Amino acid sequence: MKGRRVWAVARKESLHVIRDPRSLGMAVAIPMLMLFLFGFALTLDVDRVPIVVYDESSSPASREFLSRFFGSRYFALRGFISDYDALVRAIDRRDATAALVIPYDFAPNVAASRGAGVQFIVDGSDSNTATIVIGYADFVVSAYSRDVTLSALARSGLRPPCAPLDVRPRAWFNADLESKNYIVPGLIAVIMMVISALLTSLTVAREWERGTMEQLISTPVSPRELVLGKLIPYFVIGMVDVTLSILMGEFVYGVPLRGSVALLFAMAAVFLAGALSLGLLISVLSKTQLVANQLAMVLTFLPAFLLSGFVYPISNMPRAIRLVSYVVPARYFVALLKGIYLKGVGMNVLAGEALLLALFGAVMVALANAALKKKLA
């Protein structure tokens, strides 16, 4: 392998990217746009749940109970209604996600400690949101019931019993439990996987379509030199994208970066080498840009988005899908990003993921070289 030949191929590919505004725009602008849109639009936080209230009691006790709901950031009052028909209409029209019904005998039952019943209705068409909302409501009701019980004991002169269990939960690494803190790092992996494969998936296919591949074959450039020369410009662009993504995560979304920046860039470089080689392999195997583009999307975006643990926990997937996820390289890069970003851990913890990611990169580079050599032969 000669450096002059590699440099000549890299210079040729760089000039092509610079002279083609569409390629350059796709390489830089699209990752930033995707990170901006997904970062703000994709959230798993369930806050300010719209709720309507059917209060038949209209008593100080019911108003004090309602204040527990609307004094928190989890519920937002959308209005009071006067019958069940209005309740059904509000949920059907999606004006409200939940409804709270307080019976007319709520106040006397609370005062007499007879156990007052209230009805909490949730729109279950979105099962995940409904489960979270029910958990919020259970927490509010439990806190209110405890305070009412303690007040009744105090009025009667009795000493409140000691709780048999005192749970003090503490969330590590993401104390505020904000979904953006783990969505943004995972999103960087998904975007880098897609963009890297898309960029290089068109390089060799474009040479075949334009008839310039025959000219390259006639030169002394070897397949390894051709592969390396074509990867270098896009590797530089990819590292620029990684840098911009990290800066956006820091200054736009405020995601904490607790680990080593050097380790983050090193793992990103390994991942980019593998993803770019995968795109180049796709480009070698398919001689048209259209087929290469479609294959790149199917083989990169869907697995990276669905099977990497970026949004959906892999542990909750069926066993067969979990086994398939082991061949998705974004899975290991997502784990590395979250470990470096949120936990601040190093290679002593992430060595397994780093080794598998390096193995993916080495295999993709070898396959791209072998496939191009066969095509040229």
Q: Dump pLDDT digits (tens) for 24-52.
A: 777 777 788 888 877 777 777 788 899 99
Question: Is the domain covering 49-155 a CATH 3.40.1710.10 domain?
Answer: yes
Euclidean distance between CA atoms 146 and 138, whole angstroms = 12
pLDDT at 359: 93
pLDDT at 376: 56
pLDDT at 185: 87
The model's pLDDT over 58-95, given as tens digits with 9 standing for 90+, comes to: 888 889 899 988 888 889 989 999 888 899 999 999 89
User: Would you list the domain boundaries of the chain?
Assistant: 3-43+178-376, 49-155
pLDDT at 216: 65
Buried b (16+ CB within 10 A) or exposed e, 106-133: bbeebeeeeebebebbbbeeeeebbebb
Q: Are 188 and 239 in contact (CB under 8 A)?
A: no
Closest CA to 257 of 331, 182, 356: 182
Q: Is 195 in a helix, a strand, or coil?
A: helix
Euclidean distance between CA atoms 371 and 374, whole angstroms = 5
pLDDT at 160: 67
Low-confidence ranges of the chain (pLDDT < 50): none
DSSP-derived secondary structure letter, 156: T
pLDDT at 266: 93
Buried b (16+ CB within 10 A) or exposed e, 256-274: ebebeeebbeebbebbbbb
